[in-house]
Amino acid sequence: MTAYDELVPQQVTGSATGATSKLHAVSVRAALKTFAKARARLLDVNNWYNYCGKKGAEFQLTDHNGNPLSTSQPEIGNLIRIRLPAPSNDKGDGYDWVRIEQFESSSSSDNDEQVFGFRVRPVSNPKDRTNESAHFYTSEATSSFLVRRKGAIVFAMERGRNEKPNPTGAFLNKLRNFFVAVAAMLGMAVPQWKMLTRAILKPVKG
């Protein structure tokens, strides 16, 4: 079983979305370098916005209390604070919040393949502690971010599973969650993840 199989849950309810970018390297050696760099960019959450050309959502890695972290080595239990180019989330003090819940890494010399990634899930506002999702999706939803090398081909992927609008909070926030979630479920989030997967996969010379 690969890291992909471990990180991407079965689709049970709601919608499934995703984006993939692919790069054909000039050689396996070049692909190995590109994979290593893509892995580093994937982990560098605080710079995702910059990698995307300062477009789309802004991401900030925090500790479990919501205090910003400057590290490019996130850990299980760290949160990611997201500011969307959309109406702000009152329940999240203006942000949508997710928690990093799993990392996976696998490699196979027989298949000449490497996979690395992590999975996040909506959580409550760390300043609120209501146990209600401070995100436009319910806590059943997940997003998995992965990089994969197969021979001289390198992939970067985002996979959303079990996505449903979050009905918690005051009326206006419920309305905001519904419209943002439905738009994302209908594919409006794909350009964001496509920008990110392309940026993560920029080739490395050599």
Residue of 158, 178, 149, 126 lying closest to 20 (CA atoms): 158
Mean pLDDT of 162-172: 92
Quick one: pLDDT at residue 204?
62
pLDDT at 1 exceeding the cut of 80: no
pLDDT at 34 exceeding the cut of 80: yes
Quick one: pLDDT at residue 130?
79
pLDDT at 129 exceeding the cut of 90: no
Q: Return d(Cα 194, Cα 21) in angstroms, integer.
A: 7
Mean pLDDT of 48-60: 95
* pLDDT grade for 22, boundaries at 50, 70 and 90: very high
Average pLDDT, the chain: 94
Give the number of other Cβ atoms within 10 Å of residue 175's Cβ. Answer: 13
Q: Return d(Cα 161, Cα 154) in angstroms, integer.
A: 23
pLDDT at 71 exceeding the cut of 70: yes
Quick one: pLDDT at residue 2?
82
pLDDT at 114 exceeding the cut of 90: yes
Quick one: pLDDT at residue 205?
59
pLDDT at 16 exceeding the cut of 80: yes
Phi, psi of 31 (to 5 degrees): -65, -40
Q: Return d(Cα 174, Cα 157) in angstroms, integer.
A: 29
Domains of the chain (ranges; CATH) run: 3-200 (3.30.530)
